Structure 1
Amino acid sequence: MKTTGLMLGGAALALALSLGTPAFAQDIDFGDDSSTFANDGQCDDPRFEGVGAALILSPVDESRDATDCQTAFDAGDITLIAPADEDADDTAEASITEPLPTSDIDFGDDSGSFANDGECDDPRFGGALASHELADATDCRTAYDAGDVTYAAPTDDVVAATPAGEIDFGDDSGTFANDGECDDPRFGGALTNHERADATDCQTAYDAGDVTYSGDTSVDTPMISSDDIDFGDDSGNWANDGECDDPRFGGGLTSHELADATDCREAYEAGEVTYQSPSDDAATPVGDIDFGDDSGVWANDGECDDPRFGGGLTSHELTDATDCREAYEAGEVTFTEGTTGPTGDPIVIDGIDFGDDTGNWANDGECDDPRFTGAGVGVALDDHLMADATDCSTAYAAGTVTLAEDTDTPSSEFRINFGDDSGATANDGVCDDPRFQGRGGALELLEANVLSDATDCRAAYDAGTVTYNP
């Protein structure tokens, strides 16, 4: 009994060991290395699992990655997946769905841009280009027959991309055609006038899978006839330059509304621009504005000083024409209707009529009216007599200027007596009359030169390099 028990116990142990022992390498048919991914250091055979197995396993690689799988198996990095049937042989292969016969698959045609390049781009076979579904037949059939790819039939909830061969891409008549960017709105482009007018860019982007096709977006509303649009005239600075600048057609210059007729009509009739009716607050056409002339001191300095355009010099109203016209036409300033002359009532303090601000140097923070003297005086200019009211009245109220004592001559008729050129140093380019001070005056001022260097002193005074301080 004891012996029998030992014998039975040994038999049971042997049976248990035989059932629990994993398969040995010599018991497994690893196949060959015909897989595309053979010898890449990972086991691609779907019959194995473990850290040494590839993350993505395909039925087509069964028994076709022998070296990688045997190496990983021997290292203990993978194990053979047990068969589902407990009665199956230890070396039975994992259950694998049989691939569809080639004759049961519609490979489509070779209408894709990248067809016949040796690579299958159809996404049903793992390709990356949605636009090549049913459009890369030869490459995909070859790869499928070779077992390099597998076929996944599209599901019902996936809308297949429209084959490129079924899309009318149009032509390259758009202004921005062939710039490397698809502008057709049917492919997500932003230019409605480029529908069917950017063919090369859009087909390239579609074939590359960079854009998707959403079908025709053409609206049924007909375009307004050019005969029903008032294009204006060609009075704009940039008229007839081949580009439409009228903002009603998408142009960037508000000053060119109704002032770039030829360019805009041609662009509109060519379908390159669209028309939007102007708003009620449209900019005043250039032709309706009186810009004046360039008589201002700061005219032609590249900055518009006319206060009607936001300039800071009231003295330059209607006297900075070129600068203001250029700025207005460039859309850098806006026009506000204003008066065409001095505004406001005359400023009178302590019985002194300060006049207005029509002087070129008015509102510069210094009193230039020659009737005044003191620290607040800038350059006493004859032409600023009663024409620098704000500066002089402000300085007078602050006590930095006073009305110069004069003869019985009324203040409104104040003039400087420059004298004559009888001085020994007259006409030497420097003002020697000691009544004048400044960088245009002599370093040594002598009483003998009073009223005897008229030409030099008048020139320096007019140039603003000396001031008159009697």
Structure 2
Amino acid sequence: MKTTRLMMGGTVLALALALGAPILAQEVDFGDNSSTWADDDQCDDPRFEGPGAALIRSPVDEMRDAADCRAAFEAGEVTLVAVEAPTSPNAEDGGDIDFGDDSGAWANDNECDDPRFGGSLDSHLMADATDCRTAYEAGEVTFEASNEVSGAVQPVDGIDFGDDSGAWANDGECDDPRFGGSLASHEFADATDCRTAYEAGQVTYDAPDDTSAAGDIDFGDDAGTFANDGECDDPRFGGSLTSHEMADATDCRTAYEAGEVTYDAPDDGGSDVSVNDIDFGDDSGTWANDDECDDPRFGGSLDSHLMADASDCRTAYEAGEVTYTPSDESGADVAIGDIDFGDDSGNWANDGECDDPRFGGGLDSHRLADATDCREAFEAGDVTYLGDGTGAVIIDGIDFGDDSGTYSNDAECDDPRFTGSGVGVALDDHLMADATDCSTAYTDGTVTLADESGSGGSNGDFRINFGDDSSASAHDGVCDDPRFQGRGGALELLEANMLADATDCRTAYDAGTVTYNP
């Protein structure tokens, strides 16, 4: 109705202007007040000009600022510009456009994503029909048949530069490997830098060979623990779980077809492995986030940081400072099918915690006896497989010994060579005899190897855990801990004061007035 009214009004006005007859306000169809700038005392309708008209007038406000324009027109502050009978807002009839279908992941969300109408998703070319037809008919978008690539950076010579989503985008250096850049993670993600360099003749374009269609990819099945959770975990598509390779099919197919992930076919690489093919692990290591990669798979020197220094190692790998060598030893790279998880015969099986010491658990009695918990933790990347060996435990060059101590496997490190919150009672007879407890605590960062030089006293072979000052008799100048005897100790030694009078006992021990006799 509005279009018909506009056409009729335009015809009358054009005739009146042609005949030189004065135009009266009642002969002008001023429209309505639906403009954002309506009722601001300036005429924003582009059909009018004069001192009462806004300096900037947009076609979108045509016939949408009635009150302002009528007042200005009647006051003689604006005049009506000669108009032609208007055409449809879009030059091309909607009936001539193939809008496609609604197969896009974001179809029917009331936003037109087809790049032919200014949308930003290449994957929605001819795949957001309802939204785009509605917007087109409402005059909210226009149709450009040639606009088939989205993003801020449009193609040159048929090249899709992608976008600027990379961490190092807009730094003046092209990092996209298709143009000779060194960061696989920046493929299609450093558009501005690479387009600038390409147009300046500083780089050349090497089209990737992998143009796999979804039909050419074996997505596998949905056997993964986290399959069908709406997130693609397969590392071939940038997922972070090696256990989900070919085991998260539905999520990854959906994401791939929506253009949210890309496919990197696995290879047997080494230093040239794509960053998306590497499971960097997490930042659970004691020395994680110190700007140094300690994971031995990247040349680091700490076995305890295997898959436990992710941020440092990813940064170093992407910067080309380290290379990746898959581990040949038992550990995170062992295929799940090669591990005998045992059964659930342990007392603490099926409690949501892996207690098998082969995976870092603290109960030797649960070796091969906590299968379900350990399998789930391994698949989730929460634990790594340490192997079936029963010999000495050696981490970072430290020989933890074995579990021959009376108090081994009690979740407290009793080896007197260690200090920290994870130490229970430092016992001479547990030297190298509490391996599981101490290696677990060391890996968790709750104990460290003590300085073997000692600090006075009669025994410099180990560091004593003095405990804290929680005793009621603390800070009285007398050592009340029953593990110490001598003239600097209390006459009455109570069990309750063990590990609870640290300051007094350390002072007396350093002064040589007590000796340590656990």
Same fold (TM over 0.5): no
**TM-score interval (norm. to shorter):** 0.3 to 0.5
Q: TM-score, normalised by structure 1?
A: 0.39
TM-score scaled to structure 2, two decimals?
A: 0.36
